[in-house]
Amino acid sequence: MKRAKRFYKNVDVVALASGKWQVRLDDRPAKTPAGGPLDLPTQALAQAVAAEWGAQTGEVRPEAMPLTRLANTAIDRVAAQRQTAIAELMRFAANDLLCVRASQPERLVDLEAAAWDPLLEWVARQYGVGLTTGAGIAPVQQNPDDLGTLESFVLRFDDFALTGIVAAAQLLGSAVLALGLFERRIDPDQAIAAADVDTAYQQQVWGVDPELTARNHNRLQELSVIAQFFDLARAV
C-alpha cells in the first residue's frame, strides 16, 4: 500500500467560532478522507489528533494514527449515517454476548454468571433496561420495549461517543460491554476479560492458545485507544 509523503511542516490547533477545535497543517485545515475539515468537539481531542499528525516522519502512516481514524469515522460516516450506526449497535444489544449463556458445565455457568450478571444489573439501573438471558443454542428474544428504551438513550449520544461505542461493540461482541466502557463502569482490561469468559475457561481446560493471546493483546490496544477517545471527546 502506497503511503503519502508528509506534505506539511507544522501542525496547529485553533479554536473555531462554532465552539469546535480544528487541526491545521501549515495553517490549512487538515482533511478527513472524505475531504471535510478535521473539526473536533474538544481541545483535548484536537491536541491529541494533532500530536499524531506531528509524529509522522517521512510518510503519513494512518495505522499509527488511531485517534485520527476514529475522528474521521465520526465525521465522515457516523455524522452522515447516524441511524446506520445506531442500528448496528442495537443489533449487538438484541443478541448480546452477555445474554447467551452456557447450559453446562457447571463451572462455566458459574463463571459467566459471576462476570456478566453484575453488568446486566448495571444496565438495568443505568438505562432502565432488563435484558433477558438464555442458555443453550436457541436464540434469546429480547423484549422490544426494553430495546426501544435502550435505543432512546443511544439516540442522545453525539457522533464521537457513538463512533467509539460501536467500535467497542464490534471488538467485544456486546453492546453492554461497549456501554460499560463508555460510562467508565469497566476499563479495557475488564472488558476483554468479560468478553472472553468462555475462551478463558476453554484455555484452562485445554491449554493456552498463543494466537488467541496475541489477538487479545491487539484487541486490548484497540480498546485502550477507544477509551482514550471517549475521555478526550467528552465535553465535560
Answer yes or no: is pLDDT of 216 > 90: no
Are residue 101 and residue 182 in the same domain, yes or no? yes
Based on the domain organization, do 26 and 87 belong to the same domain? Answer: no
Is pLDDT of 117 > 80? yes
Q: Is the pLDDT of residue 211 over 80?
A: no
Does any domain span residue 76? no
Instruction: Tell me whether residue 1 is in a domain.
Output: no
Mean of pLDDT values over 159-174: 98
Mean pLDDT score, 205-213: 76
236 confidence band (pLDDT: 50, 70, 90): low
46, 68, 90 - which closes a domain: 68
Q: Is residue 169 in a domain?
A: yes
Note whether 25 and 59 are same-domain residues: yes
What domain count does the chain have?
2
What pLDDT is recorded for position 66? 98
Q: pLDDT for 13-29, tens place per residue?
A: 999 999 999 999 999 99
Residue 200, pLDDT above cutoff 90: no
What pLDDT shows up at residue 235? 67
The answer on 47 and 93 residing in a single domain is no
Terminal-residue alpha carbon distance, the chain = 39
pLDDT digits (tens, 9 = 90+) for 138-152: 789 999 999 999 999
Tell me the CA distances in angstroms from 169 to 162, 183, 188, one per residue in order. Answer: 10, 14, 12
Tell me what the mean pLDDT of segment 104-112 comes to. 94
Structure confidence at residue 215 (pLDDT): 82
CATH code: domain of residue 49 = 3.30.2180.10
Quickly state the pLDDT bin for 2 (edges 50, 70, 90).
Answer: low
Residue 5 in domain: no
Domain around 134? 82-233
Q: How many beta carbons lie within 10 A of that of residue 148, not counting itself?
A: 11
Return the CATH number at 128.
Answer: 1.10.3580.10
Residue 6 lies inside a defined structural domain of this protein: no
Q: 171-185, pLDDT tens digit by residue?
A: 999 999 999 999 999
The answer to whether residues 169 and 203 belong to one domain is yes
Higher pLDDT, 57 or 116: 116
Q: Is the dihedral of CA 167, 172, 176, 177 positive or negative?
A: negative
**Residue 61 and residue 86 in one domain:** no
